[in-house]
Amino acid sequence: MSEIKSVGIVGAGQMGSGIAQVAAQSGYDVRLYDVSPEGIDKGIAGIKKGLARLVSKESITQADADAALSRIKAGTLAEVAAQDLAIEAATENEEIKKAIFRDLAQHAGPDTILASNTSSISITRLASVTGRPEKFIGLHFMNPVPIMRLVEIIRGIATDAPTYEAAVTFARSLGKTTANSEDFPAFIVNRLLAPMINEAVYTLYEGVGTVEAIDTAMKLGANHPMGPLELGDFIGLDTLLSIMNVLHDGLADSKYRPCPLLVKYVEAGWLGRKVGRGFYDYRGETPVPTR
Ligand code: NAD
């Protein structure tokens, strides 16, 4: 089994920066790459904020935070590919991810494991463009990565046993619990979660309830920590729409049809919390429903 000591991450958004933070806190050297330079700056700023919050809560010391931060460096895609494990956490779009994996595979060392944090896209299909599908695996972290305890592990049809074992060992070394999912559209978590949120958007679209009524109903009526529309904003409505499209295309069942109102929000660029507006407007002191 190959031992993982260093981690490369492609995509410094909500997920990539979260994975970088927990990996660095667990002692791994991290190289972080994003196609957009602002993306890197925003990602590193987010990590600093996350570590500072842990220091203020006395969960870690300032020295721990400084040490973690010193292990994270911005790097090129080739440098990301040169690490023991390269995790792709870019936008949820199959063509973007395939282009990244073609590049990573060109620069990867013979033992480098390539992994995708995709929420829904076939691991076997992504692996097929690398020419090394046996060293490819799905490592699906949850948002926010420093807090959520699960990593879903998805083997493609060709993933070999040493790659699987190294991936599980890595996830556990970050203090996470793993759950294995077969490689079917959206795996386990999002096969269940995304249709529930999509149905909440239909409930809004059909006028059954307001944003506030729907979220209050599910928080107090089903004991969910967040309402489904709030959760959709938290995940990112572009990501949610991509997951619904993967389910709809991959399982060919009309029950996965993305709600037209979800499509409209994404077309408007109202992608949720990460851009300041989705089903709620986050630009003021407190979130205000947008309809
Ligand atoms: P995000 O929009 O916050 O970040 C995506 C980042 O990828 C951006 O910084 C963008 O600049 C970068 N990017 C886009 N194209 C790129 C390229 N060609 N090369 C390098 N970087 C590129 O999105 P996110 O929420 O961090 O999601 C990233 C991945 O994680 C997606 O596959 C998503 O499905 C998955 N995921 C998301 C969640 C969630 O709740 N948001 C949970 C688990 C998994």
pLDDT in tens, 240-271: 999 999 999 999 999 999 999 999 999 999 99
Give the whole-angstrom CA distance, residue 136 versus residue 224.
34
Confidence of residue 2 (pLDDT cuts 50, 70, 90): low
The answer to whether residue 140 is catalytic is yes
The answer to whether residue 93 is catalytic is no
Q: Name residues contacting ligand 1 (CB within 6 A).
A: 10-16, 34-36, 39, 89-92, 96, 100, 117-119, 140-143, 235-236, 239, 274
Ligand 1: nearest atom to the Cα of 15:
26
Answer whether residue 236 is part of any domain: yes
Answer whether residue 186 is part of any domain: no
| Catalytic hit among 17, 92, 120, 140 | 140
**Is 48 a residue whose pLDDT tops 70?**
yes
Answer whether residue 1 is part of any domain: no
How far, in Å, are 29, 33, 195, 288 from residue 267 at the CA level? 38, 27, 20, 20
Confidence of residue 272 (pLDDT cuts 50, 70, 90): very high
Judgement on whether residues 169 and 255 belong to the same structural domain of the protein? no
Judgement on whether residues 176 and 246 belong to the same structural domain of the protein? no
Q: What is the mean pLDDT of residues 217-231?
A: 98
Q: What is the pLDDT of residues 57-71, one digit of tens each?
A: 999 999 999 999 999
Confidence of residue 42 (pLDDT cuts 50, 70, 90): very high
Judgement on whether residues 105 and 177 belong to the same structural domain of the protein? yes
Ligand 1: nearest atom to the Cα of 274:
3
pLDDT of res. 291: 87
Which residue of 239, 244, 245, 275 sits with most ligand 1 atoms within 8 Å of its CB, as the best mutation to test the pocket? 239
Residue 79 maps to which CATH number?
Answer: 3.40.50.720
**Is 139 a residue whose pLDDT tops 60?**
yes
Judgement on whether residues 69 and 141 belong to the same structural domain of the protein? yes
Q: Angle at which helices 37-56 and 14-25 pack, to 10 degrees? A: 50
Q: What is the mean pLDDT of residues 230-235?
A: 98
Answer whether residue 195 is part of any domain: yes
Q: How far is the CA of 220 from the centre of ligand 1 (A)?
A: 31
Answer whether residue 116 is part of any domain: yes
Say if residue 133 is preceded by a cis peptide, omega within 30 of 0: no
Ligand 1: nearest atom to the Cα of 243:
34
CA triplet 16, 62, 44: central angle to 5 degrees? 25
At 87 the three-state DSSP class reads strand
Judgement on whether residues 109 and 64 belong to the same structural domain of the protein? yes
Domain encompassing residue 161? 6-181
Q: Give me the chain's average pLDDT, please.
A: 97
Q: What is the mean pLDDT of residues 28-47?
A: 97
Give the whole-angstrom CA distance, residue 173 versus residue 166.
10
Q: What is the mean pLDDT of residues 217-244?
A: 98
- In 92-123, which positions are buried (b, 16+ CB within 10 angstroms) versus exposed (e)? bebeebbebbeebbebbeeebbbbbbbbbbbb
How far, in Å, are 34, 216, 276 from residue 262 at the CA level? 27, 20, 16
Residue 241 maps to which CATH number?
Answer: 1.10.1040.10
Judgement on whether residues 19 and 138 belong to the same structural domain of the protein? yes
Q: What is the mean pLDDT of residues 9-22?
A: 98
Answer whether residue 274 is part of any domain: yes
pLDDT of res. 170: 98
pLDDT of res. 245: 98
- Pull the structure tokens for residue 276: 């300041």
Q: How far is the CA of 236 from the centre of ligand 1 (A)?
A: 10
The answer to whether residue 190 is catalytic is yes
**Is 73 a residue whose pLDDT tops 70?**
yes
Nearest to 19 by CA among 131, 123, 145, 207: 145
What's the gap between Cα 108 and its chain centre?
22
Half-sphere exposure in the Cβ direction for 240 (13 Å, CA): 36
Q: What is the mean pLDDT of residues 279-283?
A: 98
Ligand 1: nearest atom to the Cα of 238:
2
Q: Angle at which helices 237-251 and 228-235 pack, to 10 degrees? A: 100
Query: How many domains in the chain?
Result: 2
The answer to whether residue 152 is catalytic is yes
Judgement on whether residues 11 and 129 belong to the same structural domain of the protein? yes
**Is 72 a residue whose pLDDT tops 70?**
yes
